């Protein structure tokens, strides 16, 4: 029997929009779902929006209560590194949060390895691999001759991959390999630009439902911007 997940794109401090999306997906306020579904976050839950600290606290609570999963994005990675480099000048709570972020996985394989969640990109040879190279690709993606790498076009791995990181006007699906989708629809921006097409659009928050492979959207609420 397939496991049931709802993978949420880059939240970037849009707490009220996130809660509205979670409610739309059928979750209760405590993060439980009547059908046993589970939330998964692709990272970059902080910065940009108006409620970065509260968003991280909300998601951290869900993860620690085993009601959600989260991979580490580049924003969490960079924030944790800054805090760790200034340990004697920041609060103990900041260090604890940085430790928690640092320990988050950069890849999650779910549903008997049929589903893989990363923040930025998947590399065929690095599926399930724990290494500095795998972390770099998973958290930041890659560049070839200074240009962003279209990892979906190159992916030939078996799991279906869900990622964020790269702004898209609508979820970008690919059938290469086991399939993939990018779901960073720029929730924290009133005006955004699709990285692949150049199309301008108003940002919103996206969820990808597994195994249904359905998309659920939530318009960004004004209080988050």
The predicted structure's pLDDT at residue 210: 98
The count of structural domains within the chain is 1
Taking CA atoms, 215 is separated from 25, 171, 212, in Å, by 10, 8, 9
Provide the token pair at 209.
Answer: 């439902």
Per-residue pLDDT of the chain (225 residues; tens, 9 = 90+): 678 999 999 999 999 999 999 999 999 999 999 999 999 999 999 999 999 999 999 999 999 999 999 999 999 999 999 999 987 788 999 999 999 999 999 999 999 999 999 999 999 999 999 999 999 999 999 765 555 678 999 999 999 999 999 999 999 999 999 999 999 999 999 999 999 999 999 999 999 999 999 999 999 999 999
What does pTM read for this prediction? 0.95
Closest of 144, 190, 146, 149 to residue 166, by C-alpha: 149
The CATH code of the domain that includes 128 is 3.60.21.10
Which residue range forms the structural domain that includes residue 180? Answer: 5-224
């Amino acid at each position: 029997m397939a496991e049931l997940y709802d993978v949420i794109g880059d939240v970037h401090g849009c707490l009220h929009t996130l809660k509205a999306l979670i409610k739309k997906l059928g979750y209760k306020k405590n993060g439980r779902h009547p059908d046993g579904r589970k939330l998964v976050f692709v990272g970059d839950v902080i910065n940009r929006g108006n409620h970065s600290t509260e968003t991280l606290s909300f998601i951290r609570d869900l993860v620690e209560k085993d009601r959600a999963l989260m991979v580490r994005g580049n924003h969490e990675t960079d924030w944790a590194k800054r805090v760790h480099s200034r340990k004697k000048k920041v609060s103990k709570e900041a260090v604890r949060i940085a430790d928690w972020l640092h320990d988050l996985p950069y890849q999650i394989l779910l549903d008997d390895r049929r589903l893989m969640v990363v923040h930025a990109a998947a590399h065929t040879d690095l599926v399930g691999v724990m290494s500095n190279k795998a972390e770099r690709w998973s958290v930041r993606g890659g560049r070839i001759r200074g240009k962003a790498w279209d990892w979906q076009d190159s992916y030939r791995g078996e799991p279906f991959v869900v990622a964020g990181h790269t702004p898209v006007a609508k979820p970008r699906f690919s059938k290469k390999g086991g399939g993939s989708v990018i779901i960073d629809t720029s929730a924290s921006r009133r005006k955004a630009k699709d990285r692949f097409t150049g199309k301008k659009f108003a940002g919103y928050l996206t969820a990808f439902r597994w195994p249904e492979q359905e998309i659920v959207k939530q318009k960004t609420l004004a209080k988050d911007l």
